[in-house]
Structure 1
Amino acid sequence: MACLLQLALLCVVVGSVDGKYYGKEIATSWGSSASNGLAGSIYAVDKNTIQIIGFSFTPSGDGAGTAILMGKGKTFENAKTSGDLSNAVTVMAGPLRSYNGEDIIFDIADGVISDFGYLAVGNTDSQVLYGGASIPQGFVAPAQQDIGTFTSRAHSVRSQEVTVIDDRTIFIRSFRYDGQGPDAYFYVGVTDAVKLQQAPYGIIPDENGVSDKKATQYSDRDIMLTLPSTISAIELKWLSMFCISYSHNFGEVTFPDDLNVPPHIGQVDIDREGFNCEAMSEQLQVSWLITNDSITFELAGNINRNEDYMAFGLSGSTTRPQMNDADVVVADYREGSTPRAVDYFITSKAQCSSNGGTCPDTSTANVAIDDVTDVSAEVTYGITRVKYTRARNTGDAKDKEYMTDGTEQQVVWAVGPLNTKKEAAKHYTNARSSCELYF
């Protein structure tokens, strides 16, 4: 694939392997009597999700009856000694195959992690446990965490509550800054005092993924910041609007020492709804789900919802991203308005006119049908999400078919402003390099 891949108040033991954060550590050992090559480090991603990094296991025979289990009311040692698995539930059904240092992740359907006393690999037929680990009493799984508000020190910097969504995602509510600082950026550090930092700390990208331009004015905007892959919020002391030239802190919010949040979804791919997911950029993510002859999309963007649109669809060329002759859907969700996802066929990059351009299918230029249905939307933590459905093959001359036979298809995407007619105007960002997806 050629496109960009993204998309405890006790003593908190964070989980890291080779410098990456994987959640809160449950155990790194499967017990002194573990058998069948059982190994791997166990982490809680959130209250319902566990991942095992470097999982190894060799089943006996065909592995019949093997599974990953979680038990209630007992520690692993109690369950191993008693051989009583009556309170165990299967969280990853088998038969398990051979694993050799692989990373696996699974959700717990029946309860949350703290409901259980242990996790183990066992055999439900023979009632044998090959190895496992007890879950500490009072275990608090990672969760989104509010950390306070920005202090106001200069240039009208202030905010409402700041939430750490995961170890690389920070949501700031109603952020304000007058934009008058000569050389100010979003800036993070690991020192007690807010001051200049050495790499990899310092300047981080803004809500649009831009880190080489100074911050402009913010007027009570909700924004989402994504830390670079080299930085985890777990290690940070503060986030500031910081002027580099004068080493001046305009305002900061601090991170608690006991921060206990999920790992970033770019490191852990959690698919809860069956949707496939790809990040087109730091600003736009596309998810899709095929059901019979229909395909449902969700466009999720870190955009100005009252001004911007998100667009996604099939390229006008089979070999490269091309807007001309592209079949796209343009989606927006303005505050106080009904969400929209509009079927477009593009004949040029110009705004729509009677002669063509970037036009809805129902325009006089295209004289076709809008085949988009079931439009819904929500805004969560500053991310605008618009969901819609269309037939894979509408039969409309202005639409292209989404293939499900293993054919790789070129896609295009864009983010830009709506014009006064609420139609797509020239984009801010769009697909610049080849991006092929399998639907």
Structure 2
Amino acid sequence: MDKITRLLFLSTFFFAVEGDTTKYFGKYIADFKTNAHGVTGKAYAASSTTFYISEFYYDGKGSDAFFWVGNTENPSPQGEIVPNELGSQENIGTYTNRNITITLPTGRTINQFKWLSVWSRQEALDYGHALIPRDFVPPVEQSIGPIKSFAHGVRADSVVIKDSKTIYLSNFYYDGSAPDTYFLVGSGKPNGGGTKVPDETGSLSKIKGYNGKNVSLRLPGTLTVFDINWLSIYCILASESFGQVDIPDRQNLNVPADLKELKDVSLNFKNCEELFPGLMQVSWIMEGESIIIQLEGKVGENEYLAFGRSGNEDKVEMTGADVILAFYDKEKSMARVVDYFINSKSQCTGTSGVCPDVRFAGKEDAVLITWQRINGILKVVYKRLLKTGDARDQEIPSSGGMTIVAAVGNLNSQMEAAYHSRAYLEDTIRIDFGRNPVSKCSLLEGKMDKDKKDMTPWKSAKISGVTEFRAQIGPSGGAKGYTAITGVQSWGVAWWINGLLIPEITVERYQNYTFIIEGGEDPSNTAKYHPLYITNNPEGGGSQVLDQLNSS
């Protein structure tokens, strides 16, 4: 490729029309030059670290072949592996006009290299390559300045275009007092005919107050930053913009593509099972010694999806189960997957109960690949080895049935699993992950999160003028019980005092009181042992943080 051609590529961005939808893949790099095994495709920089290859073909018949990058003038043995679209460094297989994303190892960026190749180490042969232009400038996040403030205390230190679908507001303020106010985007001048953008929780309800919060907004539908030239905090009723920012020179923005969507497209899940109809389902792809799992379900901000292998091969058994917890972490504005082991049916206390593997000196064996949260539906894709070598993990067989467990429940204040209050498997279900692909799922339809109506709690009980108290462990009182009364997620059990659920007790100074405790006698059985102690922590749960209590 000559110097003139290389320079022309520097200002080339790419929009492809697929059906009726125009998609942005990032900055165009080059078409693959074919040398062997039919290698073809178009390479783009989806971000500074990620290649997007469209219509990629390779017959899979080469020897010891990998995606390979290097800094010599032409492809050579002086290079390094780029993991495939599933994050694996195994030999790549057959690709038949696939669209894939591949990400460079940590610390590497596309402009550090001169070519991307399909390379055979065994033959020291380049099957096909795309040359990266000199002085290539890959897409990066772009700051477009602060929000112009007009009313209601609206302001933000900076607005950053993270990618073609994501706009980030740093240190955002809005007093929340105006009616009918939304995040709106559009073309021309800000007006009430703009498009509503879901808030950071995915809700299209009118926005509430913000006090210096970092807010990540995702443009809805097929809309991208290339379709708009303003973002406004807009009151439709008053036809007034309380604050706005302009998107400059939008057609020449060199920003990353929407990697979430590109990765979703590259993962073709042909196997799917409904776990709770209309609520949760699981899909998967077997890839060598690994498995790619997608959990999808209707969950709120403080809820989780749990899925894994049962502790008993003959039936559903939580004790001894190896599960992955998937949830949206609102503090980090992203989804997370956490490897859990269950050695008793109780909240995690030290190294006993429903605990993350790291509590048992284990390791985190689930690797998050991509996630999405739209209209109240959380979709999380993660990867793990079939056999991790971790003592707390169970092997996932590559063929033959495996009894599974699954649940939907709430997180506690420590972002750990609380009682599975919404749903859990009771009937035995076995899945053969190595079966011929078949999808047994229907479309999971979600709704935008709406403000939840407060559950009217049971009237709080009170005890006074009594000197003897009998404390017994019992049920938490359902939807109107412990959680509704306290505002804190329960583990499904609560203290009953003199037959009353978590009553308010009035005591007098210098008076002697007797407590008769019926909370279990065996500290080693956390599911049946509940020590009673007095604390000023409204949530309690001090036994979960014994290390902190002992050091204070």
TM-score tier (shorter): 0.5 to 0.7
Cα RMSD (Å): 5.0
Could you tell me how far 1:56 is from its partner in structure 2?
A: 0.9
The answer as to 2:118 corresponding to 1:121 is yes
Q: Taking structure 1 as the reference length, what is the TM-score of the superposition?
A: 0.60
2:409 and 2:211 map into 1 onto residues whose CA distance is 28
The answer to whether the 8 A contact 2:154-2:242 is kept is: yes
Larger radius of gyration: 2
2:412 and 2:221 map into 1 onto residues whose CA distance is 26
Aligned to 2:287: none
Alignment of 1:366-377 (within 5 A): 369=353, 371-372=355-356, 374=358
SS at match of 1:119: strand
Could you tell me how far 1:152 is from its partner in structure 2?
A: 0.5
Q: Taking structure 2 as the reference length, what is the TM-score of the superposition?
A: 0.50
Aligned to 1:351: none
Structure 1 residue ranges without an equivalent (≥5):
1-8, 315-326, 329-342, 346-358, 363-367, 377-382, 384-391, 395-400
The one-character-per-residue Cα deviations of 1:302-354 (angstroms, maximum 9, x if unpaired) are 5369xxxx99999xxxxxxxxxxxx99xxxxxxxxxxxxxx996xxxxxxxxx
Aligned CA distance change for structure 1 residues 423 and 133 (closer, same or farther; 3 Å): closer
The answer to whether the 8 A contact 1:39-1:57 is kept is: yes
The answer to whether the 8 A contact 1:313-1:413 is kept is: no
Alignment of 1:255-294 (within 5 A): 255-256=247-248, 257=250, 258-268=253-263, 278=295, 280=297, 281=299, 283=301
Aligned to 1:173: 170
1:70 and 1:175 map into 2 onto residues whose CA distance is 41
The answer to whether the 8 A contact 2:117-2:126 is kept is: yes
The one of the two structures with greater contact order (alpha-carbon pairs below 8 A, sep at least 6) is 1
The answer to whether the 8 A contact 2:72-2:78 is kept is: yes
Aligned CA distance change for structure 1 residues 287 and 186 (closer, same or farther; 3 Å): farther
SS at match of 1:265: helix
Alignment of 1:89-238 (within 5 A): 89-91=80-82, 96-109=92-105, 111-189=108-186, 191-197=187-193, 202-211=195-204, 213-238=205-230
The answer to whether the 8 A contact 1:166-1:263 is kept is: yes
1:12 and 1:282 map into 2 onto residues whose CA distance is 41
Which segments of structure 1 move beyond 6 Å, counting only runs of 4 or more? 284-290, 310-314, 415-418, 422-427, 430-434, 436-439
The answer to whether the 8 A contact 2:71-2:115 is kept is: yes
SS at match of 1:267: helix
Amino acid at match of 1:85: S
Aligned to 1:21: 24
The answer to whether the 8 A contact 2:71-2:113 is kept is: yes
Match among 220, 242, 250 for residue 250 of structure 1: 242
Aligned to 1:303: 330
Identical counterparts, % of pairs:
24
Aligned CA distance change for structure 1 residues 157 and 289 (closer, same or farther; 3 Å): farther
Match among 225, 239, 250 for residue 231 of structure 2: 239
Aligned to 2:62: 63
Amino acid at match of 2:104: I
Amino acid at match of 2:44: Y
Aligned CA distance change for structure 1 residues 255 and 221 (closer, same or farther; 3 Å): same
SS at match of 2:111: helix
The answer to whether the 8 A contact 2:339-2:357 is kept is: no
Could you tell me how far 1:414 is from its partner in structure 2?
A: 3.6
2:308 and 2:405 map into 1 onto residues whose CA distance is 16
Structure 2 residue ranges without an equivalent (≥5):
1-8, 84-88, 268-289, 310-319, 364-372, 374-389, 434-552
Aligned CA distance change for structure 1 residues 219 and 71 (closer, same or farther; 3 Å): closer
Amino acid at match of 2:197: I
Count of residues paired in the alignment: 340
The one-character-per-residue Cα deviations of 1:122-171 (angstroms, maximum 9, x if unpaired) are 44444443432211122222333333221101221111223333332333
The answer to whether the 8 A contact 2:231-2:245 is kept is: yes
